[in-house]
Structure 1
């Protein structure tokens, strides 16, 4: 056995393999730099065209994944590995993963539709999939929503896309719906006039459209008024609470009696042989 010859062959092979490894590392570093540079140029081009930031992140992430897959295949080809069979294997793995992760792919497809059709954008306040809050991020698979009580909630895109979506930020204003109970002895016209005047003075209540105060229904206590001021979405809860306070203060200043509701029920006697009719009064 010629050890010297074997050593020379082994050294040549190791040298060749080492050069290929170094070349692969260099190729990976240079290609990664080029990919990052290209993605930056792509992001800058989209921003110059004022494309939605969420859509930019969506497209850039997809392109980045595809380019890195191509880079891995190229490096394997550099080492002499048959890339055709690898591509077939990659496709088979993709099909297997797709079957196993059908729900994840459904979220991915739903995310694409959310980006394309844009029922809402980042910063909108929405109600979807049973969650109400402000949209913080629309991702590839999930959407992040900060609820009204400041809880970060992550919801699958497919669940949002398959449900009804209420976008509270889409229209320039929204209506606040409240009720005001009157005593049956109170003149409803006087109450309506007082409420309209008082509510129109609340900050952030719009004059166009003007607040609505009308008779909604009647009950045993008296007339029920529908009190409906309009405001911009960001002022909704301020106007809601201020209107409740205005109703209470307006009726108190006017000296209106407190609404009462009388009801009757049958109360059995202790021995259970007879019953008596009892009348109670409940303050509304």
Structure 2
């Protein structure tokens, strides 16, 4: 088969005029449509925020709207190239079924993300333990939940892992109980120790009056008498009170001569063995 170079050269301008324009139009539709989809999704999110809707719900809904509009943009761009979109949608639908089986994990994460939004066991800003990690919820997206740890690391957890495991939310309740276990030696004054702990709690304005502070002997352990020292505070004050009380107990006990026992070992030598040697 022989190629006529002249005929090919003559048809190139025509091909460029026909298909080049289609390619340009497809690119314009794609980039402009993508920009519009992003703008509309962001505007919808701002509108929800202005109505005081939870940021978690607003951001999740924004992502759903964006990806739905983006799919429409892709189909419209393919239509500019001459692709039969009706048949293309049918092909995508058939392929979607096969892809669905292959991406069961991703679909499970998507379903879990929807459940997180509907039931709201956690929301942006909460400090939680979820999926084996602990941190402040930064974002709940379609497939993942993002936490920021206290030492400023970012942890990305699959939504399915969050929903399929226990969730501990430290921010839901307005108040929390600070629990300390304090041990003193058997030779120390129990009543004085209780008095000191009560004074520490009474002198801290962060401690709530109701429920009342609880100080009681928990157990008579092998080498110490152990107390429970429990006080209720606002959730935001929890760690501050926990650290301050731990330090104050040690300082006050030292001032009053109350001994806090620590593990130690006594070694005894048998002098009869030395003489035999």
Taking structure 1 as the reference length, what is the TM-score of the superposition?
Answer: 0.79
Deviation at 1:46, TM superposition (A): 1.4
SS of the counterpart of 2:237?
helix
Are the aligned partners of 1:199 and 1:246 in contact in 2 as well (CA < 8 Å)? no
Which residue of the partner structure matches residue 243 of structure 1? 245
Where does residue 105 of structure 1 map in the other structure?
A: 107
- The 1-side partners of 2:43 and 2:6 are apart by 54
Cα distance in 1 for residues equivalent to 2:34 and 2:260: 75
Measured in 2, the distance between the counterparts of 1:30 and 1:148 equals 41
The residue that corresponds to 2:158 in the other structure is: 156
Q: Is structure 2 residue 18 aligned with structure 1 residue 16?
A: yes
Selected match of 1:71 from 70, 73, 84? 73
* Equivalent pair of 2:183/2:260 in contact (CA under 8 Å): no
Distance of 1:270 and 1:160 partners within structure 2: 65
Q: TM-score, normalised by structure 2?
A: 0.81
The 3-state SS of whatever aligns with 2:211 is coil
Q: In structure 2, how many angstroms separate the alpha carbons of the residues matched to 1:184 and 1:9?
A: 103
Counterpart contact for 2:213–2:231, Cα < 8 Å:
yes
User: Structure 1: which 5+ residue stretches go unaligned?
Assistant: 272-284
Q: Which SS does the other structure have where 2:255 is aligned?
A: helix
| Separation in 1, partners of 2:60, 2:227 | 49
Whether the 8 Å contact between 1:220 and 1:261 is mirrored in structure 2 is no
CA spacing shift, 1:194–1:41, aligned 2, 3 Å: closer
Instruction: Give me the whole-angstrom Cα distance separating, in 1, the residues matched to 2:98 and 2:165.
Output: 28
**Cα displacement (A) at 1:29:** 4.9
Size of the aligned set, in residue pairs, is 270
Instruction: Report the counterpart of residue 52 of structure 2 in structure 1.
Output: 50
Q: Tell me which moved more, 187-196 or 103-112.
A: 187-196
Structure 1 residue 126 displacement after superposition: 0.7
Does the C-alpha gap of structure 1 residues 250 and 32 become closer, same or farther in structure 2, counting only changes over 3 Å? closer
CA contact (8 A) 2:180 2:230 kept: yes
Which protein has greater RCO, CA pairs closer than 8 Å, 6+ apart? 2
Which aligned pairs between 1:1-284 and structure 2 lie closer than 5 A? Answer: 12=14, 14-202=16-204, 204-221=206-223, 223-257=225-259, 259=261
